[in-house]
């Protein structure tokens, strides 16, 4: 099969990596791809959001299957457009991807179908939002309704901080149209867990749990990012909790979308808070999380292409999906200044053909890299690399990821030093 993966980050590199191992995949392409993906797939210089150009290229080059990985093209209806052109695609159609593209939609869906989540109100008028914030008090959470690269959420510790966030989104247009509507919700407490699930619209298969580390600095401080690292599985997410989430959250969500005429085929991301009152939904995403994808797919033993085909065919309940025992840790190496302002074009040293030589249990997934004409690998984004280790125990995976990261360097490299440490502390206290 000739397969095209849409996107150019670490998540897409992990998908390409897994697909490259499938005997079914004979030719692999990625658009736009990056400097690391180029070692496994032919990179095509088309923006991930250019639906028309992507579909035209896929038709012209007779793709047998397309994997649409990022949120923006899913929300723009790229899967719909590919299917209309006769090309099978993996990912939800636009009417199902709205579960991520609109937080107002997802909150209303949860309310209607009694799926546990935080108390909230949605607003289109700034004054009404400010009144509600003052009435409810802090801590409180302010969320832009639309897609904001994982950065449209402010967990405000004071009323004035929440007011400032609402003004920035609604009056100052910080996130453009994405912030024209906001959701203001209660601040839930408890450990956060991500569970990614394959779905064919009817059936649902969870992947190993994971935990993202959103803030840019140690101790979960500083601004939100796309994610600075992830571990899998997440300690504390027990089989009992998994069964509860399946019954109260996962299956009801799939059933709700189907009932609304929006059957979901693809990867549905459940961002969960394990509150004292039980697990609740923090957010949905309509695709693999990044960097959770890098950690989770490092544990996959089955053929990812088979799973994608089963999701599209509605036969997920018959698919053979196996995971290796053990844990994984993905450590993000970012450009200094990210997520605010940073420089690109810094040469990266320590890698050979994009990977660490002699490190069989380490995979370096590229997020923001590019290859110069002379073959030099350089930085080309905020998050540059995701150094990922898989090991029998979480302690070993974390230790090995950090040891491997020490062998890689570029000017102004920034990384957190505490990825997975809170999880290890939780294990120690059990």
Sole residue written with tokens 């639309």: 146
Q: How many domains does the chain have?
A: 4
What span, in angstroms and rounded, lies between the C-alpha atoms of 185 and 183? 6
Q: Is residue 108 part of a domain?
A: no
pLDDT at residue 150, rounded to an integer: 64
Q: Is residue 116 part of a domain?
A: no
Q: Is residue 114 part of a domain?
A: no
Q: Is residue 263 part of a domain?
A: yes
Are 347 and 399 in a shared domain?
yes
Are 197 and 269 in a shared domain?
yes
Q: pLDDT, tens digit, for every residue of 265-274? A: 999 999 999 9
Q: What does the block give as tokens for 105? A: 């939609």
Can you give the CATH number for the domain in which 14 is found? 3.40.50.20
* Angle of helix 251-259 versus helix 103-112 axis, rounded to 10: 100
Instruction: State the average pLDDT for the chain.
Output: 95
Q: What percent of the chain has pLDDT over 70?
A: 99
Q: pLDDT, tens digit, for every residue of 64-116? A: 999 999 999 999 999 999 999 999 999 999 999 999 999 999 999 999 999 99
User: Which residues constitute the domain of residue 400?
Assistant: 327-429
Are 202 and 309 in a shared domain?
yes
Can you give the CATH number for the domain in which 146 is found? 3.30.1490.20
Q: Is residue 107 part of a domain?
A: no
Are 287 and 231 in a shared domain?
yes
Residue 45 has pLDDT above 80, yes or no: yes
pLDDT at residue 423, rounded to an integer: 85
Going by pLDDT thresholds of 50, 70 and 90, the confidence category of residue 430 is low
Are 79 and 55 in a shared domain?
yes
Q: Pick the last residue of a domain from 257, 290, 318.
A: 318
pLDDT at residue 175, rounded to an integer: 87
Are 310 and 331 in a shared domain?
no
Q: pLDDT, tens digit, for every residue of 335-356? A: 999 999 999 999 999 999 999 9
State residue 381 phi and psi, 5-degree precision.
Answer: 180, 180
Are 286 and 348 in a shared domain?
no
Considering only CA atoms, which of 130, 137, 189, 134 is closest in space to residue 165? 130
Q: pLDDT, tens digit, for every residue of 125-156? A: 999 999 999 999 999 999 999 887 666 888 99
Are 344 and 419 in a shared domain?
yes
pLDDT at residue 176, rounded to an integer: 87
Are 300 and 339 in a shared domain?
no
Q: Is residue 111 part of a domain?
A: no
Q: pLDDT, tens digit, for every residue of 69-80? A: 999 999 999 999
Contact assessment for residue 257 and residue 250, using Cβ atoms and an 8 Å cutoff: no
Q: Is residue 112 part of a domain?
A: no
What span, in angstroms and rounded, lies between the C-alpha atoms of 309 and 258? 20
What span, in angstroms and rounded, lies between the C-alpha atoms of 400 and 394? 10
**pTM for this prediction:** 0.94
């Amino acid at each position: 099969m000739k397969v095209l993966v849409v996107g150019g980050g670490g998540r897409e590199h992990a998908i390409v990596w897994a697909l490259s191992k499938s005997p079914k995949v004979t030719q692999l392409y990625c658009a736009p791809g990056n400097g690391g993906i180029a070692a496994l797939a032919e990179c095509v210089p088309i923006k991930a959001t250019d639906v028309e150009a992507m579909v035209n290229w896929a038709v012209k080059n007779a793709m047998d299957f397309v994997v649409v990985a990022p949120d923006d093209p899913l929300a723009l209806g790229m899967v719909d457009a590919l299917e209309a052109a006769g090309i099978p695609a993996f990912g939800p159609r636009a009417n199902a991807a709205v579960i991520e593209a609109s937080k107002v939609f997802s909150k209303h869906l949860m309310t209607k179908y009694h799926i546990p989540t935080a108390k909230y109100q949605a607003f289109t008028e700034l004054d009404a939002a400010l009144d509600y914030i003052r009435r409810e008090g802090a801590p409180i959470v302010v969320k832009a309704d639309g897609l904001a690269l994982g950065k449209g959420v402010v967990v405000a510790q004071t009323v004035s901080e929440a007011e400032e966030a609402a003004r920035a989104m609604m009056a100052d247009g910080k996130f453009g149209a994405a912030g024209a509507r906001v959701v203001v919700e209660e601040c839930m407490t408890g450990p956060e867990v991500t569970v990614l699930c394959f779905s064919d619209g009817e059936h649902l298969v969870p992947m190993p749990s994971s935990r993202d580390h959103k803030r840019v600095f140690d101790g979960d401080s500083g601004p939100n990012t796309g994610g600075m690292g992830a571990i899998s599985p997440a300690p504390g997410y027990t089989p009992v909790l998994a069964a509860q989430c399946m019954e109260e959250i996962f299956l009801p969500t799939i059933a709700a979308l189907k009932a609304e005429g929006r059957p979901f085929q693809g990867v549905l991301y459940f961002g969960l808070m394990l509150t004292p009152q039980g697990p609740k939904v923090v957010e949905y995403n309509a695709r693999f999380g990044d960097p959770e994808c890098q950690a989770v797919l490092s544990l996959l033993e089955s053929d990812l292409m088979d799973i994608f085909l089963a999701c599209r065919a509605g036969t997920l309940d018959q698919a053979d999906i196996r995971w290796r025992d053990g844990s994984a840790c993905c450590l993000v190496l970012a450009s200094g200044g990210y997520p605010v302002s940073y420089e690109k074009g810094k040469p990266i040293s320590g890698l050979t053909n994009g990977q660490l030589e002699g490190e069989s249990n380490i995979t370096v997934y590229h997020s923001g890299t590019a290859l110069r004409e002379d073959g030099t690998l350089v930085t080309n984004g905020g998050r540059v690399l995701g150094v990922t280790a898989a090991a029998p125990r979480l302690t070993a995976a974390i230790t090995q990821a950090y040891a491997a990261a020490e062998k890689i360097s570029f000017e102004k490299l920034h990384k957190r030093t505490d990825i997975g440490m809170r999880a290890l502390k939780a294990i120690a206290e059990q």
